[in-house]
Amino acid sequence: MSRIRVFPDPVLTTPTEKVTAVDGEVKKLIKEMFRVMYEAEGVGLAANQIGEPVRLLVVDTSLKEGVEPVKLVLINPEITHREGSVKSKEGCLSFPGLTVELKRARKVTVKGLNEEGEEVELTLEGFPAVVLQHELDHLMGRTFLDHLPAWRRRLALERYRKLLKEQSP
């Protein structure tokens, strides 16, 4: 059983390692990531959010109303094209309770491997594109706070520390 790592856990600020083989272990990890994500009612999860420092992410927006349903697994993902800009209000399972407004690309093309180890390339737009960029940041050891100017980052961290205090028993 895995638990979601919460900031400032160092696994969240360390870039992850490339997956070298899509084997049984990786498939087990993918299953576990979906399980943890659904349990937490999230729409995306990066492997290091459950403490596994590898380049692997999952997305499923189909349980959220009013957005395009996209379910995917991406191993060693890389964004090859970005287009446009969109304001995005985001939460993060690793920052319980905190929401932050930031700008993301509106449309992205990403390539990587699927869970069969086959090369895939896809273009996402709108909400699924935002989720994908959020999860990819995690794999690079970045969080949504890294998109904010220093003063907004400081305020968000203050807000987050208060939230953590309120949540701890």
Looking up tokens 């205090």, which residue turns up? 165
Q: Can 121 be counted among the known catalytic residues? A: no
Number of residues that bind Zn ion (CB under 5 A): 1
For Zn ion, the binding residue among 36, 57, 58, 92 (CB under 5 A) is 92
Binding to Zn ion (CB under 5 A): which residues in 109-168?
A: none
Q: How far apart are CA 17 and CA 35, in angstroms?
A: 22
Give me the sign of the Cα torsion angle 44, 49, 51, 53.
positive
**Contact pattern from residue 44 through residue 83 relative to Zn ion, giving x for each residue in contact according to CB under 5 A and a dash for the rest:** ----------------------------------------
Among the listed ranges 57-65, 84-92, 100-108, 148-156, the one in contact with Zn ion (CB under 5 A) is: 84-92
Residue (26 or 100) nearer to Zn ion, CB = 100
Q: How many helices (H) does the chain have, and how many strands (E)?
A: 3, 7
Identify each DSSP E strand in 96-160 by its residue range.
99-104, 107-113, 119-125
Among the listed ranges 14-22, 86-94, 96-104, 121-129, the one in contact with Zn ion (CB under 5 A) is: 86-94
Q: Are 146 and 157 in contact (CB under 8 A)?
A: no
**Binding stretches for Zn ion (CB under 5 A):** 92
Active-site annotation, residues: 135
